């Protein structure tokens, strides 16, 4: 478990899953979060829990 600031600065090996309990407002923050899983050519999975109010953040017009 880590904050967004800590997640950008640490290199934890063999992370296979990232669980997002809340959704950040900025797309690049989300990208950095989910990019922690499956690094260096390995597979990884990101699971994000959304509320109805979060759905709009993931829609493309």
Domain segments of the chain as ranges: 4-58
pLDDT digits (tens, 9 = 90+) for 15-35: 888 898 888 888 888 888 888
Q: Which two tokens stand for residue 6?
A: 């800590």
| CATH architecture of the domain with range 4-58 | 3-Layer(aba) Sandwich (3.40)
**Is residue 48 predicted with pLDDT exceeding 80?**
yes
What gap in Å lies between CA 27 and CA 20, rounded to an integer? 13
Res. 45 pLDDT band, cuts 50 70 90: very high
pTM more than 0.75:
no
């Amino acid at each position: 478990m880590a904050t967004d600031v800590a997640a950008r600065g640490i290199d934890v090996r063999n992370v296979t899953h990232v669980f997002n309990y809340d959704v950040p407002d900025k797309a690049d923050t989300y990208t950095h979060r989910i990019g922690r899983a499956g690094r260096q050519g390995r597979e990884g999975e990101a699971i994000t829990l959304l509320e109805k109010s979060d759905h709009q953040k993931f829609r493309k017009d």
